[in-house]
Amino acid sequence: MAESATAAEPTKRTRISAVSAWESLFRAQVAVMRTLAAEFPTRDISFNEYDVLFNLSRQPNRELRLRDLNKHVLLTQPSVSRLVDRLVARGLVAKCPEPSDARGTVIRLTDTGYDMFRRVAVDHMKTITDRVGGRLTPEELETLVILCDKLRDAS
């Protein structure tokens, strides 16, 4: 006699739907990111450097511990460290010792880095609006935010 599925065990239909949804989400993310990277509005900073400046700009005092910055960007820890070193050399961020942990490092967005971020952000926002906002209705955009936040919060 066949066993019935328990409430905790996903059905075959749920598994297929989940895999299909993941595949669609992943492919959409890759396609959008490729477009945004290709249409990135400047050669003064890279798309990944912009991501670091963006994340720092959203933090109190425009600073974040390096280990926390690693959680916000889509790069490996060694890649983030090298990227931060390049941004330090260009005066866009500063590395400071963490006051509460001598082994830690705080990355702070400099005024020059913030000015660079803001200049690039205006044009980059136009591309995002065209590529994402131009494809979805305002209601769909709100739903997408809710769904993506729900998936992220479950991790």
- Which CATH number goes with the domain that contains 68? 1.10.10.10
What domain range includes position 66?
A: 45-154
Q: Does 1 score more than 70 pLDDT?
A: no
Tell me what the pLDDT averaged over the chain comes to.
90
Domain tally for the chain?
1
Pairing verdict, β 93-98 and 63-65 = unpaired
Quick one: 20 exposed, middle or buried, by C-beta within 10 A (0-12, 13-18, 19+)? exposed
Is residue 80 a part of any domain in this protein?
yes
Work out the angle at residue 132's Cα, subtended by the Cα atoms of residues 61 and 48, and round it to the nearest 5 degrees. 45
Residue 83: CA count within 13 A, CB half-sphere: 20
Q: Rounded to whole angstroms, how far apart are CA atoms 72 and 120?
A: 19
Q: SS3 of 58, please?
A: coil
**For 11-34, what is each residue's pLDDT tens digit?**
999 999 999 999 999 999 999 999
Quick one: 109 exposed, middle or buried, by C-beta within 10 A (0-12, 13-18, 19+)? buried
pTM score, whole prediction: 0.80
pLDDT at 17: 94
Is residue 54 a part of any domain in this protein?
yes
Is residue 29 a part of any domain in this protein?
no
Is residue 26 a part of any domain in this protein?
no
Cα 139 off chain centre by: 22
**For 49-61, what is each residue's pLDDT tens digit?**
999 999 999 999 9
